[in-house]
Structure 1
Amino acid sequence: MASIGGARAVRELLRVRADDIGWALFRADNSALIAGLLGTHLGDERRRLPDVELYELLDADLDALRDTGLDLPKTAQGYCADWRASGYLVRRPLPGARGESLELSPGALSAIVTLRQLVAPRLSVTESRLQNVSAQLSRLAIDTDPDFGRRLSQLELERSRIEAEIERVRAGDIDVLDDQRALERVRDILAQAQEMPSDFARVRAEFDDLNRRLREWILDSEASHRPVLEDVFRGVDLIAESDEGRTFAAFSALVLDPHLGDDFDDSLSQLLSRAFSAQLSAGDRQFLRRFIPMLKDHAVEIHTVMTNFARGLRRYVQTQEFQRDRALRQLLRDALAEALDVKDKVKPYTETGLHLQLSAVGINSVGNLRLHDPSEFDASEEVLSNAPTVVDLAALRLLARETEIDFAELVDAVDRAVLERGPCTVADVLELHPATQGVASVIGLLALAASHGVVEHDAIEAIAWRGTDGVRRSANVLVHRFQAPISARAA
């Protein structure tokens, strides 16, 4: 009879092999290069680097590897582009600065941890690990027991054991672990502690996935997903209220507890003062010293991510952006449905006659660029502040004459010239009454003659005037003749 469980296990592993980034890293041709370089620069305490800084570090490593005879044709930037496309690296914007950062994806980080254990295997069947499992199992049995009497009995047994231990210590009977067993326990603690920072990458990925699912539910118009939209409208923080959010909140509260940090530092100081700690590497000792601060940094980062996701989700709903995206999605679905209907009749390369202007940055030569010169926008002159003064009518009239033609003066000049000489041309008016506004007076007379006089298109006359700068000027114009006073015609 065939084993159904074995077949199911094979199918699950095949699914994981197709989707898991860590498995893909194991199968990559340059898996040693990926794990060695990225694990060194992104797999320890520092999990994220600006892309430019990472390129510089990797280029130096690549040069050293080429000196040993390895064929590495690409630059660090080229390799990082490939690793980012394969899912080993994740690109994120740098907070508070221009540029981007690179970090290991959760799958790649898990794979690198596994490969490190192959390089430096640690004994898994140890006394300390068994004691940890036994202690946690006993603690869980007590914490989950609903029976009052049984729980009280277990706690009293625990108290009796502790009191007996206290009496033994008071009597001077102390069991001190030998250096070998103590070192074994420290390394077991290190193995567990070094796995915790990698968990933050998975937590970050879970929140990314949760944020994406919530947005998809908001876009979904099905009635089963309507409560998600209603909760956001009411201000419910769905990120914090999720299972992932509650689990992380409990962990974060413990990490940020000042008593935990003080107890850890005190215990660590005592531990590193023991003789056996000299057998620990400098990296292990540094990791233990930085363990709690590192967890706090990661916890604050994840909390910031949760807050940003929650604010973005609330803004997405309250600003009605989801309505636009929902309409766009429906239009895309309709277009795809119509495309399926005509796929057998219209070829994909058929000319449609439509031209779509894509939004893209134009590619130009560097020579076309113009450097920004801050001095062009430098207001070097001081801004003068003038106190308000009283202006008389004569000053206002003078200001008006500098910007406008004084037609009242010109009409009076034309009327007096016509009364004195009879019908007269513009040249006659200028001869009797000089142009006080220069060419502006000439233009005004020509405009008045065109409106109130006669323009003789077959005759030309020379006119002369003195400009406001005192220079005498002249011009030939068509004869413009005033037949009667302008004021009399207006009346």
Structure 2
Amino acid sequence: MSLDFATLSQLRRTHPGWRLLVADHAPLVVSFLQQTFIEPNVRVMAQPELESRLEDLLFQLREREGDKLFPRSAREYLDDWAQHDKGWLRKFYPPASDEAHFDLTPATEKAIAWLESLTQREFVGTESRLLTVFELLRQMISGTEADPDTRIRELQAQRDEIDREIERVQAGDFKLLDDTALRDRFQQVSSTARELLSDFREVEQNFRQLDLQVREQIATWEGRKGELLSRIFGERDAISDSDQGRSFRAFWDFLMSPASQDELTELLEKVFELDAVSSFEQDRRLKRIHYDWLDAGEHTQRTVARLSQQLRRYLDDQAYLENKRIMQMLDGISARAMAVREQMPTGDFFSIEMPSADIQLPMERPLHNLPLKPMLDTEIEVADSSEISTEALYNQINIDKQRLKAQIRQCLQTQQQVSLTDVIGQHPLQHGLAELVAYLSIAGSDRHALFDDSHQDRIRWQDEDGLWRQAQLPRIIFIRP
């Protein structure tokens, strides 16, 4: 985008980030939102808790700066910041909740990130960014090379370089990164990780915009249902197939891989144990940044799920309206028939050449079949004296959920996360489907468990008769709290 005079003038009038930078109480807004949402990576917060935190901050500022500096209440400030002319917060009501919640807007997060960049950093690292540029350029050239011979030569050159590096290491000739290089790379990792969290909020905002457009079209649509669905699915596919959508999908698939998460956890733990990094001013939240990514990505996935739910509700409403219209037409035909029942036509009003005809009038067909009423015998007969086995009444299966939870905790003692398939692999199902359903109940009530609908797992077990059974279900991942 070219930053000409007209573009900048429009941004100054309409962009929430620009309005935040020139606001009278910008220090209050930025400091509060940064400490409340960005630092702890809180995606959504209920209104009572947010008001309480803002009231505490306002009390401290009034004690230090005077009572006249911020005369309004916390609720008034929050409602004002969420107004359309400000656009710094998003106020909404989650499904099945009558309590307002707040979240940052992408424009506000961008403005806060720009203000953070104005503060003086301990040092400005350039080497890591230059190496990143070179590595990205190499990947672009290598990834677009269609000549097999050229790619083979490049791979052979890389292999030769690796062999030479192995020989140097075996001879004891290798270099270690100094403290400056380690801090430079750590700073680049921290900056990129925080930018990813900001990107999640922007991707979620794009899907919310699509959801809003769909609701508006459904509310005002007067044409055929097929045309509306074609337009809606076209817009959704356009976002999913865009560069942003494909990149987000690839990122989410890689992040949901247990192997990738274990590797990332191990790498972060080793990096934080380095002396150069431990003595460097750092964001300790970076050590659990992949869990923040999972939380942010799950919010985005829920937004997409709500869009699908809105489409399904629209289809159900349309089917109900069509059935209602058919019933109204049938009732109209019945009413007209009843009106002319006493005034039957006279004379020859119908004739055929055949001696007889099998005529079935539409009104002779029943509109519905009456349900059959069972005939109940009120007399009680004396049963025979044969004994009836009551063993089946006592052979009930009791699933011990505490034992299943203990098995999950045992698997998480050596790993940061484990899938349900891994748990069952170490502790096979003893009671078949009933025990599997108990695992699903535990995962549904555990806030640290994730359901990945993009991957399907197959779980097999052997029943009492020796037959093998299997069930297919979305991948369930238990994460160590």
Question: How high is the TM-score relative to the length of structure 1?
Answer: 0.59
Which residue of the partner structure matches residue 371 of structure 1? none
SS at match of 1:90: strand
Q: CA deviation at 1:322?
A: 12
Aligned to 1:253: 253
Match of 1:55 in 2: 51
Per the alignment, residue 363 of structure 2 pairs with none
Counterpart position of 2:209? 209
2:64 is matched with: 68
Q: Which has the larger radius of gyration?
A: 1
**Separation in 2, partners of 1:245, 1:228:** 22
Give the aligned residue type for 1:185.
R
User: Alignment partner of 2:145: what SS?
Assistant: coil
Return the alpha-carbon distance in structure 2 between the equivalents of residues 237 and 320 of structure 1.
Answer: 21
| SS of corresponding position for 2:82 | helix
Q: Secondary structure at the match of 1:102?
A: strand
Matches of 1:245 and 1:105, distance apart in 2: 19
The one-letter code matched in structure 1 to 2:127 is E
1:19 to 11, 14, 20: 14
Partner-residue secondary structure (3-state), 2:20: helix
Gap runs ≥5 in structure 2: 323-377, 381-481
Deviations along 1:23-58, one digit per CA (max 9) or x if unpaired, are: 111111111111011111012222321111111111
Query: Which residue of structure 2 aligns with residue 178 of structure 1?
Result: 178
In structure 1, C-alpha distance between the alignment counterparts of 2:15 and 2:136, rounded to whole Å: 31
Report what 2:139 is aligned to. 139
Structure 2 length-normalised TM:
0.60
Residue 299 of structure 1 pairs with residue 297 of structure 2:
yes
Residues 142 and 151, structure 1, Cα contact 8 Å, conserved in 2: yes
- Counting matched residue pairs gives 318
Structure 1, unmatched stretches of 5+, are 325-387, 391-491
Contact 1:211 1:309 survives alignment (8 Å): yes
Distance 1:89 1:42 in 2: 11
Deviations 1:392-421 (A, max 9, x none): xxxxxxxxxxxxxxxxxxxxxxxxxxxxxx
Structure 1: how far apart are the matches of 2:33 and 2:76? 14
The separation in 1 between residues aligned to 2:146 and 2:321, in whole angstroms, is 49
Partner SS for 2:174: coil
**1:113 equivalent in structure 2:** 113
Cα distance in 2 for partners of 1:322, 1:84 equals 37
Q: Who is 1:157 aligned against?
A: 157
- Once the two structures are superposed, residues 442-463 of structure 1 have per-residue CA deviations (whole angstroms, 9 ceiling, x without a partner) of xxxxxxxxxxxxxxxxxxxxxx
117 and 150 in structure 1: CA distance in 2 versus 1, 3 angstrom threshold: same
By how many angstroms is 1:185 displaced? 1.3
CA distance in 2, matches of 1:112, 1:149: 49
Q: Could you report, residue by residue, the CA deviation over 1:258-304 in whole angstroms, capped at 9, with x for unpaired residues? A: 111111111112111111122234x612x222101111111122112
Match of 1:90, as an amino acid?
R
Please provide the CA RMSD for this pair: 3.2
What is the aligned partner in structure 1 of residue 468 from structure 2?
none
In the TM superposition, 1:208-247 aligns within 5 A as 208-216=208-216, 219=220, 227=227, 229-230=229-230, 238=237, 241-243=240-242, 245-247=245-247
Asked if the contact 1:239–1:306 (Cα under 8 Å) also holds between the matched residues in 2, the reply is: no
Q: Share of identical aligned residues, percent?
A: 27
- Counterpart CA distance in 2 for 1:242 and 1:67 is 54
Q: Which one has a larger percent helix, Structure 1 or Structure 2?
A: 1
For residues 95 and 168 of structure 1, do their structure 2 counterparts lie closer, same or farther at Cα, with a shift above 3 Å needed?
Answer: farther
Distance 1:47 1:14 in 2: 31
In structure 2, relative to structure 1, the CA distance for the partners of 1:120 and 1:160 (3 Å cut) is same
Q: Which residue of 2 aligns with 1:284?
A: 283
Q: Give the Cα separation in 1 of the matches to 2:268 and 2:206.
A: 32
The 1-side partners of 2:94 and 2:226 are apart by 35
Gap change, CA 1:310 and 1:239, over 3 Å in 2: farther
Checking the alignment, whether the CA contact within 8 Å between 1:238 and 1:310 is kept in structure 2 is no
SS of 1:175 mapped into structure 2: coil
The answer as to whether partners of 1:229 and 1:317 remain within 8 angstroms in 2 is no
Alpha-carbon separation, structure 2, partners of 1:18 and 1:52: 32
1:253 Cα deviation after fit:
0.6
Contact preservation (8 Å) 2:82, 2:91? yes
* Pair 1:272-2:278 in alignment: no
Which of 164-173 and 203-212 deviates more? 164-173
Cα distance in 2, alignment partners of residues 76 and 149 from structure 1: 67
CA contact (8 A) 1:240 1:306 kept: no
Give the Cα–Cα distance (whole angstroms) in 2 for the partners of residues 155 and 247 of structure 1: 26
1:114-134 deviations in Å (ceiling 9; x for gaps): 111212447556100110111
Q: Is 1:316–1:322's contact at 8 Å kept on the other side of the alignment?
A: no
Kindly state the Cα deviation for residue 320 of structure 1 after the two structures are TM-superposed.
Answer: 2.4
Amino acid at match of 1:156: Q
Is the Cα–Cα contact under 8 Å of residues 128 and 188 in structure 2 kept in the other structure?
Answer: yes
Q: Distance in 2 between matches of 1:144 and 1:17?
A: 41
Q: Select the residue among 29, 33, 37 that pairs with 1:38.
A: 33
Secondary structure, aligned partner of 2:92: strand
Q: 1:183, 1:276 → 2: CA distance?
A: 7
The structure-2 alpha-carbon separation of the partners of 1:322 and 1:149, relative to structure 1 and needing over 3 Å to count, comes to farther
Aligned CA distance change for structure 1 residues 74 and 101 (closer, same or farther; 3 Å): same
Distance in 2, matches of 1:95 and 1:268, equals 36
- Aligned amino acid, residue 316 of structure 1: Y
Contact 2:204 2:299 in 1 (8 A): no
Partner of 1:84: 82
Greater RCO, 1 or 2 (C-alpha within 8 Å, sep 6+): 2
CA-to-partner distance for each residue in 1:366-389, whole Å, 9 max, x for gaps?
Answer: xxxxxxxxxxxxxxxxxxxxxx99
